[in-house]
Amino acid sequence: MKIGIVCYPTYGGSGVVATELGMGLANKGHLVHFITYRQPARLTQFHENIFYHEVSAEEYPLFEYPPYDTALASKMVDVVKYEKLDILHVHYAIPHATVAYIAKQILLSEGIKIPYVTTLHGTDITIVGSNKTFAPVVEFSINNSDGVTAVSQSLKDQTLEYFNINKDIKVIYNFIDFNRFRKVDKDHFKRAIAPNGEKIIVHTSNFRKVKRVEDTIYIFQKVSEKVACKLLLIGDGPERDSLERLCRELKMSDDVRFLGKQDAIEELLSIADLFLIPSASESFGLAALEAMACEVPVISSNIGGLPEVNIHEITGFLSDVGDIESMSNFAIELLTDDEKLNAFKTNALLQARKFDITNILPEYESYYEEVISKSK
Ligand code: GMT
């Protein structure tokens, strides 16, 4: 198939999933065209089946905000027409599902039929999408997609709750590529970060408010009173400055390291004993799955799709959002009992295997085929 993928090219989860999906499809012989404003962060190597089309919205003195949606729609029309695409797959509803609808209508006016699949990722429904500013457009764009997928059952349920949806939503879970995400021997990293054999706790995110990274810091503070440990904070984003200040105020800067954005996250996950993800909202929690694939148990909040990924008392623990006390106690319980910790590490890997890309990719392929044949 010739597939056009539209996504945010940043380190955010939806862009990561879109890029990994495109690379996986390309490895299976499909021709994949990424259409976005910057080379996707994880698209770092040449692949004969992958093409990248950059969208640039022209500056003009009249525009306070250059019209990206218009530029994207034009680029989608151009790529579909000249590359003879079979299907468009847009990740994150805002604005991609709406722009796909416009591109589809323009192409139809020229006698070209192109179906599009919208994948809902999370905040496009739960935070941004359900906001009144966007809701009518999001609802319309979902209902007019030729196919709609959600990355967890919880996200599907929330979409049906918030919007008036007349389309079937297929749950296709996020996935993990075990060629990349697996425990590797990085003992020299471990020795450098935890020279006295301290336990290593990791959090990765884009440091937005919804991630509640400050909870991670407070949990670490409580845990470190009982267990010698270090905290690695990986990623970057709007909250980073205030989090660094918080660590200084709490006099924890020696034990907490802000590593910024890291490409080889799997190498750092490989030295971790515990992963924390106390988010206020999380449709799936790809970061948790990446940790589990590297044999790291997870302590998470119990919202959204996290309970579909992290299994309470098996692969980690789940607590209410903001319950720092409970999360700290679970962390102490796990980090002071090596037998339990090792069992949870094994369980985390077993659970992660359920989301192996080799199982999930065929679900997308057959869904594309179904959508294409229905739209003929
Ligand atoms: O929150 C992020 O990391 C970014 C965000 C996005 O849409 O780019 O992530 C969402 O999509 C990911 C991939 O499907 C999910 O794993 C995340 O749970 C989801 N984030 C939220 O729901 C807050």
Question: In this predicted structure, what is the pLDDT of residue 60?
Answer: 86
CA-nearest residue for atom 19, ligand 1, is: 122
DSSP string, 5-45: EE---SSSHHHHHHHHHHHHHHHTT-EEEEEESS--TT--S
Cα–ligand 1 centroid distance for 153 (angstroms): 14
pLDDT greater than 80 at residue 2:
yes
Q: 234 vs 194, 269, 317, 361, 367, CA distance in Å?
A: 16, 10, 21, 28, 34
CA-nearest residue for atom 7, ligand 1, is: 14
Average pLDDT over residues 34-38: 97
Q: Which atom of ligand 1 is nearest to the CA of 305?
A: 18
Q: Which of 282, 292, 302 to mutate to test the pocket of ligand 1 (most atoms within 8 A of CB)?
A: 282
Q: How confident is the model at residue 128 (pLDDT cuts 50, 70, 90)?
A: confident
Q: What is the DSSP letter of 51?
A: E
CA distance 257 to 273: 16
281 lines ligand 1 (CB under 6 A): yes
User: What is the pLDDT of the chain when averaged over all its residues?
Assistant: 96
pLDDT greater than 80 at residue 129:
no
Question: In this predicted structure, what is the pLDDT of residue 107?
Answer: 98
Q: How confident is the model at residue 294 (pLDDT cuts 50, 70, 90)?
A: very high
Question: In this predicted structure, what is the pLDDT of residue 12?
Answer: 79
9 lines ligand 1 (CB under 6 A): no
CA distance 213 to 187: 27
Domain boundaries, given as residue ranges, for the chain: 2-175+356-375, 187-353
Give the CATH number of domain 187-353.
3.40.50.2000
The fold of 2-175+356-375 is Rossmann fold (3.40.50)
Cα–ligand 1 centroid distance for 197 (angstroms): 33
173 lines ligand 1 (CB under 6 A): no
Average pLDDT over residues 45-74: 94
149 lines ligand 1 (CB under 6 A): no
Tens digits of per-residue pLDDT, 170-206? 999 999 999 999 999 998 999 999 999 999 999 999 9
Q: 38 vs 46, 55, 78, CA distance in Å?
A: 15, 8, 17
Average pLDDT over residues 209-216: 97
Average pLDDT over residues 15-36: 97
pLDDT greater than 90 at residue 132:
no
Q: What is the DSSP letter of 59?
A: P
Residue 28, CB-side half-sphere exposure with 13 Å CA sphere: 15
Question: In this predicted structure, what is the pLDDT of residue 376?
Answer: 83
Q: Do domains 2-175+356-375 and 187-353 have the same CATH topology?
A: yes
Question: In this predicted structure, what is the pLDDT of residue 44?
Answer: 86
Torsional class of 55: left (φ above 0), alpha (ψ -120 to 50), beta (otherwise): beta
122 lines ligand 1 (CB under 6 A): yes
36 lines ligand 1 (CB under 6 A): no
Average pLDDT over residues 31-56: 94
Cα–ligand 1 centroid distance for 286 (angstroms): 7
Cα–ligand 1 centroid distance for 300 (angstroms): 15
CA distance 92 to 124: 6
Q: Which of 92, 149, 283, 290 to mutate to test the pocket of ligand 1 (most atoms within 8 A of CB)?
A: 283
Q: How confident is the model at residue 85 (pLDDT cuts 50, 70, 90)?
A: very high
pLDDT greater than 90 at residue 41:
no
Three-state DSSP at 147 gives strand
CA distance 45 to 234: 23
Q: Are 142 and 148 in contact, with CB atoms under 8 Å apart?
A: yes
pLDDT greater than 80 at residue 304:
yes
Question: In this predicted structure, what is the pLDDT of residue 116?
Answer: 98
Sheet strands side by side (includes 256-260): 256-260, 229-234, 199-204, 274-277, 298-301, 316-319
Question: In this predicted structure, what is the pLDDT of residue 137?
Answer: 95
92 lines ligand 1 (CB under 6 A): yes
Average pLDDT over residues 221-229: 98
235 lines ligand 1 (CB under 6 A): no
Q: Shortest CA distance to 125 belongs to which of 155, 103, 104? A: 155
Tens digits of per-residue pLDDT, 231-252? 999 999 999 999 999 999 999 9
Lowest mean pLDDT across 63-67, 82-86, 247-251, 349-353: 63-67
Cα–ligand 1 centroid distance for 192 (angstroms): 31
Q: What is the DSSP letter of 280?
A: S
Q: Shortest CA distance to 19 belongs to which of 68, 260, 365, 36? A: 36
Q: Which atom of ligand 1 is nearest to the CA of 15?
A: 8
Tens digits of per-residue pLDDT, 57-66? 988 889 998 9
Q: Which of 11, 14, 20, 138 to mutate to test the pocket of ligand 1 (most atoms within 8 A of CB)?
A: 14
pLDDT greater than 80 at residue 92:
yes
- Cα angle 310, 313, 316; round to 5: 45
pLDDT greater than 80 at residue 134:
yes
Question: In this predicted structure, what is the pLDDT of residue 263?
Answer: 87
Q: How confident is the model at residue 74 (pLDDT cuts 50, 70, 90)?
A: very high
